[in-house]
Amino acid sequence: MPLKTVKEYLNSLRAMKFEVYFRGERIENPVDHPVIRPSVNAVAMTYALAHNSKYKDLATAYSPFVDKYVNRFTHIHQSTDDLLKKVELLRTIGQLTGVCFQRCVGMDGLNAVYAVTYEIDEKYGTQYHQRFINYLKYVQENDLVVDGAMTDPKGDRGLRPSEQEDKDLYLRVVKETEEGIVVRGAKFHQTGAINSHEILVMPTISLKGEEEKPYAVSFAVPSDSPGIVYVYGRQPSDLRSLYDAPEDCGNPKFAGQEAVVIFNDVFVPWERVFMCGEVEFAGNLVEYFASYHRQSYGGCKVGVGDVLIGAAANIAEFNGVDKASHIKDKIVEMIHLNETIFSCGVACSCLGYKTSAGNYMVDRLLANVCKQNVTRMPYEIARLLQDIAGGLFVTMPSWKDLENGKVGELLQKYLVGKKGVKVKDRVKLMRLIENLTLGRSAVGYLPESMHGAGSPQAQRIMITRLADIEKKKKFALRLAGIGEQENERLE
Protein backbone atom coordinates (compact mmCIF):
# COMPACT_ATOMS: atom_id res chain seq x y z
CA MET A 1 0.00 0.00 0.00
CA PRO A 2 1.60 3.32 -1.06
CA LEU A 3 0.95 5.18 2.20
CA LYS A 4 3.78 7.00 3.93
CA THR A 5 3.99 7.08 7.70
CA VAL A 6 4.56 10.36 9.50
CA LYS A 7 8.20 9.43 10.08
CA GLU A 8 8.70 8.61 6.40
CA TYR A 9 7.11 11.92 5.42
CA LEU A 10 9.38 13.92 7.73
CA ASN A 11 12.49 12.10 6.54
CA SER A 12 11.51 12.59 2.90
CA LEU A 13 11.32 16.35 3.48
CA ARG A 14 14.67 16.39 5.28
CA ALA A 15 16.25 14.73 2.24
CA MET A 16 15.18 17.58 -0.03
CA LYS A 17 17.40 20.57 -0.87
CA PHE A 18 15.12 23.58 -0.50
CA GLU A 19 16.42 27.13 -0.82
CA VAL A 20 14.37 28.81 1.90
CA TYR A 21 14.66 32.29 3.43
CA PHE A 22 13.02 33.58 6.60
CA ARG A 23 13.58 37.01 8.13
CA GLY A 24 16.49 37.67 5.79
CA GLU A 25 18.40 34.45 6.52
CA ARG A 26 18.63 31.17 4.68
CA ILE A 27 17.13 28.22 6.56
CA GLU A 28 19.14 25.07 5.89
CA ASN A 29 16.74 22.67 7.60
CA PRO A 30 13.19 24.05 7.37
CA VAL A 31 11.61 20.82 8.65
CA ASP A 32 13.05 21.23 12.13
CA HIS A 33 13.05 25.03 12.34
CA PRO A 34 10.90 25.94 15.39
CA VAL A 35 8.82 28.52 13.48
CA ILE A 36 8.21 26.23 10.49
CA ARG A 37 7.83 22.89 12.28
CA PRO A 38 4.23 23.46 13.49
CA SER A 39 3.12 23.78 9.85
CA VAL A 40 4.94 20.54 9.01
CA ASN A 41 3.05 18.86 11.87
CA ALA A 42 -0.26 19.95 10.33
CA VAL A 43 0.60 18.23 7.04
CA ALA A 44 1.85 15.20 8.96
CA MET A 45 -1.66 14.76 10.36
CA THR A 46 -2.86 13.89 6.84
CA TYR A 47 -0.41 10.98 6.88
CA ALA A 48 -1.27 9.91 10.42
CA LEU A 49 -5.00 9.59 9.69
CA ALA A 50 -4.34 7.31 6.70
CA HIS A 51 -2.92 4.74 9.14
CA ASN A 52 -5.61 5.24 11.80
CA SER A 53 -8.40 2.65 11.56
CA LYS A 54 -10.92 5.22 12.88
CA TYR A 55 -10.33 7.57 9.95
CA LYS A 56 -9.04 5.27 7.21
CA ASP A 57 -12.26 5.28 5.18
CA LEU A 58 -12.09 9.07 4.94
CA ALA A 59 -8.33 9.45 4.64
CA THR A 60 -7.73 6.87 1.90
CA ALA A 61 -9.41 5.91 -1.37
CA TYR A 62 -9.05 3.21 -4.00
CA SER A 63 -7.18 4.44 -7.08
CA PRO A 64 -7.93 2.70 -10.38
CA PHE A 65 -4.71 4.20 -11.75
CA VAL A 66 -2.38 2.21 -9.48
CA ASP A 67 -4.88 -0.46 -8.35
CA LYS A 68 -4.20 0.35 -4.69
CA TYR A 69 -5.55 2.41 -1.85
CA VAL A 70 -3.90 5.82 -1.78
CA ASN A 71 -4.01 8.89 0.43
CA ARG A 72 -7.19 10.79 -0.44
CA PHE A 73 -5.13 13.93 -0.97
CA THR A 74 -3.63 12.30 -4.09
CA HIS A 75 -6.95 10.87 -5.30
CA ILE A 76 -8.92 11.66 -8.46
CA HIS A 77 -12.60 11.80 -7.50
CA GLN A 78 -14.47 8.81 -8.91
CA SER A 79 -17.96 9.57 -7.55
CA THR A 80 -20.05 12.04 -5.59
CA ASP A 81 -19.28 9.87 -2.56
CA ASP A 82 -15.60 10.75 -3.05
CA LEU A 83 -16.51 14.45 -3.12
CA LEU A 84 -18.53 14.08 0.07
CA LYS A 85 -15.82 12.13 1.89
CA LYS A 86 -13.33 14.80 0.93
CA VAL A 87 -15.40 17.46 2.74
CA GLU A 88 -15.86 15.20 5.76
CA LEU A 89 -12.13 14.49 5.88
CA LEU A 90 -11.22 18.17 5.72
CA ARG A 91 -13.60 18.96 8.56
CA THR A 92 -12.06 16.18 10.64
CA ILE A 93 -8.49 17.39 10.15
CA GLY A 94 -9.56 20.97 10.90
CA GLN A 95 -10.98 19.75 14.20
CA LEU A 96 -7.75 17.94 15.05
CA THR A 97 -5.31 20.72 14.11
CA GLY A 98 -7.20 24.01 14.31
CA VAL A 99 -5.26 25.28 11.29
CA CYS A 100 -4.86 25.03 7.52
CA PHE A 101 -3.26 21.64 6.88
CA GLN A 102 -2.11 22.60 3.40
CA ARG A 103 -2.82 19.60 1.15
CA CYS A 104 -6.20 20.67 -0.26
CA VAL A 105 -4.69 22.93 -2.92
CA GLY A 106 -2.68 20.09 -4.43
CA MET A 107 -5.63 17.68 -4.42
CA ASP A 108 -7.85 20.28 -6.08
CA GLY A 109 -5.15 21.08 -8.62
CA LEU A 110 -4.69 17.42 -9.52
CA ASN A 111 -8.40 17.01 -10.23
CA ALA A 112 -8.63 20.23 -12.24
CA VAL A 113 -5.61 19.44 -14.42
CA TYR A 114 -6.87 15.88 -14.93
CA ALA A 115 -10.10 17.20 -16.46
CA VAL A 116 -8.58 20.01 -18.54
CA THR A 117 -5.77 17.94 -20.08
CA TYR A 118 -8.44 15.58 -21.40
CA GLU A 119 -10.30 18.50 -22.97
CA ILE A 120 -7.14 19.87 -24.61
CA ASP A 121 -6.30 16.46 -26.06
CA GLU A 122 -9.84 16.13 -27.44
CA LYS A 123 -9.45 19.34 -29.39
CA TYR A 124 -5.80 19.20 -30.46
CA GLY A 125 -4.84 15.52 -30.32
CA THR A 126 -2.05 16.32 -27.84
CA GLN A 127 -0.68 13.90 -25.25
CA TYR A 128 -1.14 16.03 -22.13
CA HIS A 129 -3.68 13.76 -20.47
CA GLN A 130 -1.52 10.62 -20.64
CA ARG A 131 1.46 12.62 -19.42
CA PHE A 132 -0.59 13.76 -16.49
CA ILE A 133 -1.80 10.24 -15.70
CA ASN A 134 1.82 9.06 -15.67
CA TYR A 135 2.65 11.91 -13.28
CA LEU A 136 -0.39 11.12 -11.14
CA LYS A 137 0.72 7.51 -10.78
CA TYR A 138 4.12 8.71 -9.57
CA VAL A 139 2.47 10.97 -6.99
CA GLN A 140 0.14 8.23 -5.76
CA GLU A 141 2.76 5.48 -5.64
CA ASN A 142 5.05 7.69 -3.56
CA ASP A 143 2.33 9.40 -1.50
CA LEU A 144 3.65 12.87 -2.25
CA VAL A 145 2.46 16.26 -1.05
CA VAL A 146 1.66 18.43 -4.07
CA ASP A 147 1.60 22.21 -3.80
CA GLY A 148 -0.99 23.65 -6.18
CA ALA A 149 0.49 26.93 -7.45
CA MET A 150 -1.90 29.34 -9.12
CA THR A 151 -1.66 32.93 -7.81
CA ASP A 152 0.76 35.21 -9.68
CA PRO A 153 2.05 38.57 -8.35
CA LYS A 154 -0.08 40.35 -11.04
CA GLY A 155 1.62 43.75 -10.78
CA ASP A 156 -0.78 46.41 -12.10
CA ARG A 157 -4.17 44.70 -11.88
CA GLY A 158 -5.49 47.01 -14.58
CA LEU A 159 -3.13 45.51 -17.16
CA ARG A 160 -3.12 42.14 -18.92
CA PRO A 161 -0.06 39.86 -18.41
CA SER A 162 1.54 40.86 -21.70
CA GLU A 163 0.95 44.56 -20.95
CA GLN A 164 2.94 44.59 -17.71
CA GLU A 165 6.17 46.58 -17.75
CA ASP A 166 7.87 43.54 -16.20
CA LYS A 167 6.66 40.51 -18.17
CA ASP A 168 7.62 38.15 -15.32
CA LEU A 169 4.83 39.39 -13.04
CA TYR A 170 2.83 36.49 -14.44
CA LEU A 171 4.73 33.21 -14.62
CA ARG A 172 5.62 32.43 -18.24
CA VAL A 173 7.58 30.24 -20.60
CA VAL A 174 10.78 32.04 -21.63
CA LYS A 175 12.31 29.24 -23.70
CA GLU A 176 11.36 26.00 -25.44
CA THR A 177 13.83 23.24 -26.37
CA GLU A 178 13.58 19.67 -27.59
CA GLU A 179 13.94 18.53 -23.98
CA GLY A 180 11.42 20.85 -22.36
CA ILE A 181 10.62 24.42 -21.36
CA VAL A 182 12.21 27.07 -19.15
CA VAL A 183 9.88 29.14 -16.96
CA ARG A 184 10.31 32.36 -15.03
CA GLY A 185 8.08 34.19 -12.58
CA ALA A 186 6.65 33.75 -9.10
CA LYS A 187 3.67 32.38 -7.25
CA PHE A 188 2.36 34.14 -4.12
CA HIS A 189 0.45 32.88 -1.05
CA GLN A 190 1.66 29.34 -1.61
CA THR A 191 0.05 27.19 1.04
CA GLY A 192 2.39 24.52 2.38
CA ALA A 193 4.89 24.95 -0.45
CA ILE A 194 7.95 24.26 1.71
CA ASN A 195 6.23 21.19 3.13
CA SER A 196 5.59 19.77 -0.34
CA HIS A 197 7.44 17.30 -2.55
CA GLU A 198 6.05 18.66 -5.81
CA ILE A 199 4.75 21.93 -7.24
CA LEU A 200 1.86 21.76 -9.73
CA VAL A 201 1.71 25.10 -11.56
CA MET A 202 -1.44 26.47 -13.21
CA PRO A 203 -2.35 29.79 -14.87
CA THR A 204 -3.93 32.36 -12.59
CA ILE A 205 -6.47 33.96 -14.99
CA SER A 206 -8.26 33.38 -18.29
CA LEU A 207 -5.97 34.16 -21.22
CA LYS A 208 -6.39 35.12 -24.85
CA GLY A 209 -4.43 35.92 -27.97
CA GLU A 210 -1.03 35.05 -29.35
CA GLU A 211 0.74 37.43 -26.98
CA GLU A 212 -0.55 35.55 -23.93
CA LYS A 213 0.46 32.05 -25.05
CA PRO A 214 3.64 32.06 -22.91
CA TYR A 215 1.45 32.47 -19.82
CA ALA A 216 -0.83 29.53 -20.69
CA VAL A 217 1.34 26.95 -19.01
CA SER A 218 0.76 24.13 -16.55
CA PHE A 219 3.48 21.80 -15.33
CA ALA A 220 4.87 19.95 -12.32
CA VAL A 221 8.40 19.99 -10.90
CA PRO A 222 10.03 18.67 -7.73
CA SER A 223 9.80 21.34 -5.04
CA ASP A 224 13.58 21.52 -4.66
CA SER A 225 14.30 21.94 -8.38
CA PRO A 226 17.27 24.19 -9.25
CA GLY A 227 16.19 27.80 -9.59
CA ILE A 228 13.26 27.65 -7.15
CA VAL A 229 13.59 30.02 -4.18
CA TYR A 230 11.19 30.19 -1.22
CA VAL A 231 10.59 33.14 1.06
CA TYR A 232 8.63 32.06 4.13
CA GLY A 233 5.68 34.31 4.97
CA ARG A 234 5.35 36.08 8.32
CA GLN A 235 2.42 35.28 10.59
CA PRO A 236 1.13 37.04 13.72
CA SER A 237 2.99 35.86 16.85
CA ASP A 238 5.16 33.45 14.83
CA LEU A 239 8.30 34.26 16.85
CA ARG A 240 6.66 32.96 20.01
CA SER A 241 7.74 29.54 18.77
CA LEU A 242 11.33 30.77 19.03
CA TYR A 243 11.34 32.79 22.23
CA ASP A 244 8.35 31.98 24.40
CA ALA A 245 6.97 29.06 26.35
CA PRO A 246 4.71 26.69 24.37
CA GLU A 247 1.82 27.76 26.60
CA ASP A 248 2.10 31.29 25.18
CA CYS A 249 1.70 30.01 21.60
CA GLY A 250 -1.96 29.05 22.01
CA ASN A 251 -1.72 26.19 19.53
CA PRO A 252 1.96 25.23 19.88
CA LYS A 253 1.90 22.02 17.87
CA PHE A 254 0.16 23.18 14.68
CA ALA A 255 0.26 26.11 12.26
CA GLY A 256 -0.40 26.91 8.62
CA GLN A 257 2.18 27.99 6.07
CA GLU A 258 2.37 30.47 3.19
CA ALA A 259 5.38 31.33 1.05
CA VAL A 260 6.46 33.32 -1.97
CA VAL A 261 7.84 30.87 -4.54
CA ILE A 262 10.21 32.34 -7.12
CA PHE A 263 11.04 30.52 -10.37
CA ASN A 264 14.43 31.69 -11.65
CA ASP A 265 14.59 30.10 -15.12
CA VAL A 266 13.46 26.66 -13.96
CA PHE A 267 13.72 23.82 -16.47
CA VAL A 268 10.70 21.54 -16.95
CA PRO A 269 10.97 18.37 -19.09
CA TRP A 270 8.19 17.86 -21.64
CA GLU A 271 6.83 14.79 -19.84
CA ARG A 272 5.88 17.10 -16.95
CA VAL A 273 4.24 19.80 -19.10
CA PHE A 274 0.42 19.63 -19.16
CA MET A 275 -0.43 22.85 -21.02
CA CYS A 276 1.78 25.02 -23.18
CA GLY A 277 0.18 27.81 -25.17
CA GLU A 278 -3.45 26.61 -25.29
CA VAL A 279 -4.82 29.96 -24.13
CA GLU A 280 -8.49 29.07 -24.57
CA PHE A 281 -8.21 26.37 -21.86
CA ALA A 282 -6.56 28.54 -19.20
CA GLY A 283 -9.95 29.84 -18.08
CA ASN A 284 -11.33 26.32 -17.75
CA LEU A 285 -8.41 25.29 -15.59
CA VAL A 286 -8.81 28.31 -13.33
CA GLU A 287 -12.57 27.77 -13.03
CA TYR A 288 -12.34 24.03 -12.35
CA PHE A 289 -9.65 24.50 -9.73
CA ALA A 290 -11.56 27.34 -8.09
CA SER A 291 -14.73 25.24 -7.91
CA TYR A 292 -12.97 22.33 -6.24
CA HIS A 293 -11.15 24.63 -3.84
CA ARG A 294 -14.28 26.58 -2.92
CA GLN A 295 -15.87 23.24 -2.05
CA SER A 296 -12.84 22.48 0.17
CA TYR A 297 -13.60 25.48 2.34
CA GLY A 298 -16.93 23.88 3.22
CA GLY A 299 -14.90 21.29 5.13
CA CYS A 300 -11.63 22.70 6.46
CA LYS A 301 -13.02 26.03 7.71
CA VAL A 302 -15.91 24.21 9.36
CA GLY A 303 -13.50 21.94 11.24
CA VAL A 304 -11.60 24.95 12.58
CA GLY A 305 -14.96 26.56 13.32
CA ASP A 306 -15.78 23.55 15.50
CA VAL A 307 -12.68 24.36 17.54
CA LEU A 308 -13.80 27.98 17.97
CA ILE A 309 -17.23 26.83 19.11
CA GLY A 310 -15.65 24.42 21.59
CA ALA A 311 -13.38 27.17 22.86
CA ALA A 312 -16.39 29.47 23.33
CA ALA A 313 -18.30 26.86 25.33
CA ASN A 314 -15.24 26.07 27.46
CA ILE A 315 -14.28 29.66 28.24
CA ALA A 316 -17.88 30.48 29.11
CA GLU A 317 -17.78 27.62 31.63
CA PHE A 318 -14.33 28.62 32.93
CA ASN A 319 -15.59 32.20 33.42
CA GLY A 320 -18.77 31.03 35.15
CA VAL A 321 -21.18 32.48 32.58
CA ASP A 322 -22.18 29.32 30.71
CA LYS A 323 -25.74 29.43 32.11
CA ALA A 324 -26.42 32.97 30.87
CA SER A 325 -29.09 32.98 28.15
CA HIS A 326 -27.26 35.48 25.93
CA ILE A 327 -24.10 33.31 26.03
CA LYS A 328 -26.10 30.25 25.03
CA ASP A 329 -27.71 32.21 22.20
CA LYS A 330 -24.34 33.35 20.87
CA ILE A 331 -23.00 29.81 20.84
CA VAL A 332 -26.14 28.64 19.00
CA GLU A 333 -25.50 31.37 16.42
CA MET A 334 -21.90 30.17 16.00
CA ILE A 335 -23.17 26.63 15.41
CA HIS A 336 -25.79 27.83 12.93
CA LEU A 337 -23.23 29.75 10.90
CA ASN A 338 -20.73 26.90 10.93
CA GLU A 339 -23.25 24.26 9.87
CA THR A 340 -24.56 26.55 7.11
CA ILE A 341 -21.07 26.55 5.59
CA PHE A 342 -20.86 22.76 5.94
CA SER A 343 -24.30 22.33 4.36
CA CYS A 344 -23.10 24.08 1.20
CA GLY A 345 -19.96 21.94 1.14
CA VAL A 346 -22.09 18.80 1.40
CA ALA A 347 -24.68 20.01 -1.13
CA CYS A 348 -22.19 20.90 -3.87
CA SER A 349 -20.59 17.49 -3.35
CA CYS A 350 -23.80 15.47 -3.49
CA LEU A 351 -24.92 17.31 -6.65
CA GLY A 352 -21.60 16.80 -8.41
CA TYR A 353 -21.37 15.33 -11.89
CA LYS A 354 -19.06 13.28 -14.07
CA THR A 355 -16.75 15.23 -16.37
CA SER A 356 -15.83 14.20 -19.90
CA ALA A 357 -12.49 13.04 -18.48
CA GLY A 358 -14.29 10.67 -16.09
CA ASN A 359 -13.58 12.31 -12.73
CA TYR A 360 -16.27 14.09 -10.72
CA MET A 361 -16.82 17.83 -10.53
CA VAL A 362 -18.76 19.59 -7.77
CA ASP A 363 -21.91 21.59 -8.47
CA ARG A 364 -20.11 24.80 -9.32
CA LEU A 365 -22.89 27.20 -8.38
CA LEU A 366 -23.21 25.76 -4.89
CA ALA A 367 -19.43 25.59 -4.49
CA ASN A 368 -19.30 29.33 -5.15
CA VAL A 369 -22.17 29.95 -2.73
CA CYS A 370 -20.22 27.90 -0.18
CA LYS A 371 -17.13 30.07 -0.54
CA GLN A 372 -19.21 33.28 -0.52
CA ASN A 373 -20.51 32.19 2.90
CA VAL A 374 -16.95 31.50 4.00
CA THR A 375 -15.93 35.08 3.18
CA ARG A 376 -18.37 36.27 5.87
CA MET A 377 -19.43 33.69 8.43
CA PRO A 378 -16.05 32.78 10.00
CA TYR A 379 -15.57 36.47 10.84
CA GLU A 380 -18.83 36.49 12.77
CA ILE A 381 -17.95 33.20 14.47
CA ALA A 382 -14.60 34.69 15.55
CA ARG A 383 -16.29 37.91 16.72
CA LEU A 384 -18.72 35.96 18.89
CA LEU A 385 -15.86 33.94 20.39
CA GLN A 386 -14.01 37.15 21.28
CA ASP A 387 -17.23 38.55 22.76
CA ILE A 388 -17.73 35.49 24.95
CA ALA A 389 -14.07 35.27 26.01
CA GLY A 390 -13.76 38.82 27.33
CA GLY A 391 -10.76 41.11 27.00
CA LEU A 392 -8.27 39.03 28.97
CA PHE A 393 -7.30 36.94 25.92
CA VAL A 394 -5.38 39.94 24.54
CA THR A 395 -4.11 41.56 27.75
CA MET A 396 -2.95 38.48 29.64
CA PRO A 397 0.58 38.37 31.10
CA SER A 398 3.03 35.78 29.77
CA TRP A 399 3.47 32.25 31.02
CA LYS A 400 6.87 33.26 32.42
CA ASP A 401 5.13 35.82 34.61
CA LEU A 402 2.85 33.10 35.92
CA GLU A 403 5.89 31.07 36.89
CA ASN A 404 7.83 34.01 38.32
CA GLY A 405 8.50 33.57 42.04
CA LYS A 406 7.41 37.08 42.98
CA VAL A 407 4.42 37.87 40.74
CA GLY A 408 3.35 34.33 39.95
CA GLU A 409 1.43 33.83 43.19
CA LEU A 410 -0.27 37.20 42.78
CA LEU A 411 -1.33 36.31 39.23
CA GLN A 412 -2.61 32.93 40.43
CA LYS A 413 -4.73 34.84 42.95
CA TYR A 414 -6.18 37.39 40.53
CA LEU A 415 -6.54 35.29 37.36
CA VAL A 416 -8.94 32.91 39.06
CA GLY A 417 -12.24 32.15 37.33
CA LYS A 418 -14.96 29.68 38.23
CA LYS A 419 -14.28 27.57 41.32
CA GLY A 420 -12.61 24.28 40.42
CA VAL A 421 -11.03 25.60 37.21
CA LYS A 422 -7.24 25.73 37.29
CA VAL A 423 -5.84 29.18 36.60
CA LYS A 424 -3.27 27.79 34.19
CA ASP A 425 -5.95 25.93 32.25
CA ARG A 426 -7.91 29.17 31.89
CA VAL A 427 -4.77 30.94 30.70
CA LYS A 428 -4.02 28.20 28.14
CA LEU A 429 -7.55 28.42 26.76
CA MET A 430 -7.32 32.20 26.50
CA ARG A 431 -4.09 31.83 24.54
CA LEU A 432 -5.81 29.37 22.19
CA ILE A 433 -8.59 31.90 21.60
CA GLU A 434 -6.00 34.58 20.86
CA ASN A 435 -4.28 32.21 18.43
CA LEU A 436 -7.52 31.24 16.67
CA THR A 437 -8.86 34.75 16.18
CA LEU A 438 -5.73 36.95 16.01
CA GLY A 439 -2.61 34.77 15.89
CA ARG A 440 -1.09 32.09 13.66
CA SER A 441 -4.18 29.92 13.38
CA ALA A 442 -6.24 32.98 12.43
CA VAL A 443 -4.19 33.35 9.24
CA GLY A 444 -5.69 30.15 7.87
CA TYR A 445 -9.13 30.86 9.28
CA LEU A 446 -9.90 34.53 8.62
CA PRO A 447 -7.77 36.15 5.86
CA GLU A 448 -7.71 32.81 4.03
CA SER A 449 -11.50 32.65 4.32
CA MET A 450 -11.66 36.01 2.59
CA HIS A 451 -9.01 35.62 -0.11
CA GLY A 452 -8.24 31.91 -0.47
CA ALA A 453 -9.77 30.28 -3.60
CA GLY A 454 -10.57 33.79 -4.82
CA SER A 455 -11.78 36.92 -3.09
CA PRO A 456 -15.54 37.57 -2.67
CA GLN A 457 -16.10 39.27 -6.02
CA ALA A 458 -14.73 36.23 -7.85
CA GLN A 459 -17.50 34.09 -6.40
CA ARG A 460 -20.15 36.72 -7.12
CA ILE A 461 -19.13 36.77 -10.76
CA MET A 462 -19.42 32.98 -10.95
CA ILE A 463 -22.72 32.95 -9.09
CA THR A 464 -24.14 35.44 -11.61
CA ARG A 465 -22.82 33.37 -14.50
CA LEU A 466 -24.09 30.03 -13.21
CA ALA A 467 -27.44 30.99 -11.66
CA ASP A 468 -29.37 31.08 -15.00
CA ILE A 469 -31.34 34.22 -14.18
CA GLU A 470 -33.18 34.06 -17.54
CA LYS A 471 -34.69 30.73 -16.53
CA LYS A 472 -35.83 32.19 -13.21
CA LYS A 473 -37.41 35.14 -15.05
CA LYS A 474 -39.46 32.69 -17.10
CA PHE A 475 -40.77 31.02 -13.92
CA ALA A 476 -42.09 34.36 -12.71
CA LEU A 477 -43.55 35.39 -16.08
CA ARG A 478 -45.36 32.06 -16.45
CA LEU A 479 -47.03 32.38 -13.04
CA ALA A 480 -47.96 36.01 -13.71
CA GLY A 481 -49.45 35.09 -17.09
CA ILE A 482 -47.15 37.44 -18.96
CA GLY A 483 -46.06 36.70 -22.52
CA GLU A 484 -46.36 33.44 -24.39
CA GLN A 485 -45.40 31.15 -21.52
CA GLU A 486 -46.61 27.55 -21.60
CA ASN A 487 -48.91 26.61 -18.76
CA GLU A 488 -48.30 23.11 -17.48
CA ARG A 489 -51.43 21.05 -17.06
CA LEU A 490 -52.04 19.80 -13.54
CA GLU A 491 -54.21 16.81 -14.46
**What order of strands is seen across the sheet that includes strand 172-176?**
25-27, 20-22, 228-232, 259-269, 180-187, 172-176
When pLDDT is cut at 50, 70 and 90, the band that residue 306 belongs to is very high
Q: Using DSSP, state whether 480 is helix, strand or coil.
A: helix
Whether 222 contacts 139, CB under 8 Å: no
Asked if the structure places residue 93 within a domain, the reply is no
pLDDT tens-digit readout, 19-53: 999 999 999 999 999 999 999 999 999 999 999 99
Active-site annotation holds for 448:
yes
Whether 141 contacts 235, CB under 8 Å: no
How do 172-176 and 180-187 pair as beta strands? antiparallel
pLDDT score, position 486? 62
Active-site annotation holds for 191:
yes
Active-site annotation holder among 297, 360, 375, 434: 297
Q: Is the pLDDT of residue 490 over 70?
A: no
Please state the domain count of the chain: 1
pLDDT score, position 484? 75
Active-site annotation holder among 60, 97, 117, 191: 191
Whole-structure pTM value: 0.96
Active-site annotation holds for 300:
yes
Active-site annotation holder among 198, 278, 434, 448: 448
**How far lies 144's CA from each of 147, 428, 437, in Å?**
10, 35, 31
Asked if the structure places residue 376 within a domain, the reply is yes
Residues making up the binding site for FAD: 191
Asked if the structure places residue 26 within a domain, the reply is no
Residues 6+ apart with CB under 8 A from 45: 93, 96, 97, 101, 254
Active-site annotation holder among 300, 344, 348, 370: 300
Asked if the structure places residue 313 within a domain, the reply is yes
Whether 97 contacts 42, CB under 8 Å: yes
CATH number of the domain where residue 440 is located: 1.20.140.10
**How far lies 225's CA from each of 109, 230, 268, in Å?**
19, 11, 9
Asked if the structure places residue 90 within a domain, the reply is no
Active-site annotation holder among 189, 293, 344, 370: 293
Active-site annotation holder among 88, 198, 212, 258: 258
Rg (alpha carbons) of the chain, rounded to whole number: 24
Instruction: Name the residue range of residue 298's domain.
Output: 285-468
Percent of the chain with pLDDT over 90: 98
pLDDT tens-digit readout, 55-70: 999 999 999 999 999 9
Residues making up the binding site: 191
Asked if the structure places residue 140 within a domain, the reply is no
Active-site annotation holds for 104:
yes
- Helix (H) / strand (E) containing 447: helix 447-451
**How far lies 39's CA from each of 36, 452, 467, in Å?**
6, 17, 38
Active-site annotation holds for 297:
yes
Distance (Å, whole) CA 171 – CA 364 = 27
Asked if the structure places residue 111 within a domain, the reply is no
Mean pLDDT, range 479-483, rounded to an integer: 92
| Type of residue numbered 228 | I
Asked if the structure places residue 37 within a domain, the reply is no
pLDDT score, position 487? 58
- CA 442 to chain CA centroid, Å, is 13
Active-site annotation holds for 350:
no
